[in-house]
């Protein structure tokens, strides 16, 4: 975790947008709790925060609710069980990897002060495309064996 957070803090980003996860709420779901415990998400975010912030970068924590369920293009909501790997929006036709869709939602919330909830069907395509251009995701399992 130290190695990865140092690497990210030195990678040339200007800020980070992360989900503010509430571990206790998620313990009801055994598999999620397991993966969260394994990743020690909050501990990692603390490492990243102090390294990034001491280097003058912002770490923005956003509300994690529905980042996976919400369509990053139109705001539609879909149930997304863990087995469903692709977000496939029936309203606007968006098809994206579920984690990329969630990442765009996290980035959008960070940029908007995570308060906005746009109406279904509203055209947010320019925002989504801007977010995609800006988005640099770090694969969730990258370097797991090396870092965790």
Among 59, 64, 89, 102, binds Zn ion (CB under 5 A): 89
Asked whether position 124 contacts Zn ion by CB under 5 A, the answer is: no
CA distance 61 to 76: 23
DSSP character string of 60-106: EEEE-TTTTTB-TTT--B----TT--EEE-TTT--EEEHHHHHHHHH
CB-based contact 101:69 (threshold 8 Å): no
Q: Is 74 in the site for Zn ion (CB under 5 A)?
A: yes
Q: Which of 67, 73, 101, 103 binds Zn ion (CB under 5 A)?
A: 73
**Which is nearer to Zn ion, 36 or 132 (by Cβ)?**
132
Q: Which stretch binds Zn ion (CB under 5 A): 2-10, 32-40, 82-90, 122-130?
A: 82-90
Contact with Zn ion (CB under 5 A) among 76, 99, 130, 147 = 76
């Amino acid at each position: 975790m130290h190695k990865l957070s140092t690497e990210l803090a030195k990678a040339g980003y200007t800020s980070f947008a992360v989900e503010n996860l509430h571990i206790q709420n998620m313990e009801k779901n055994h598999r999620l709790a397991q993966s969260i415990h394994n990743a020690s998400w909050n501990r990692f975010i603390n490492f990243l925060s102090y390294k990034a912030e001491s280097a003058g970068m912002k770490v923005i924590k956003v509300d994690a609710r529905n980042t996976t369920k919400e369509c990053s293009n139109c705001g539609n909501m879909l149930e997304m069980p863990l087995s469903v790997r692709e977000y496939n929006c029936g309203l606007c036709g968006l098809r994206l990897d579920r984690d990329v869709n969630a990442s765009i939602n996290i980035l959008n919330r960070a940029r908007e002060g995570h308060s906005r909830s746009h109406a279904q069907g509203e055209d947010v395509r320019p925002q989504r495309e801007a977010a995609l251009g800006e988005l640099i995701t770090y694969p969730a399992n990258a370097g797991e064996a090396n870092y965790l």
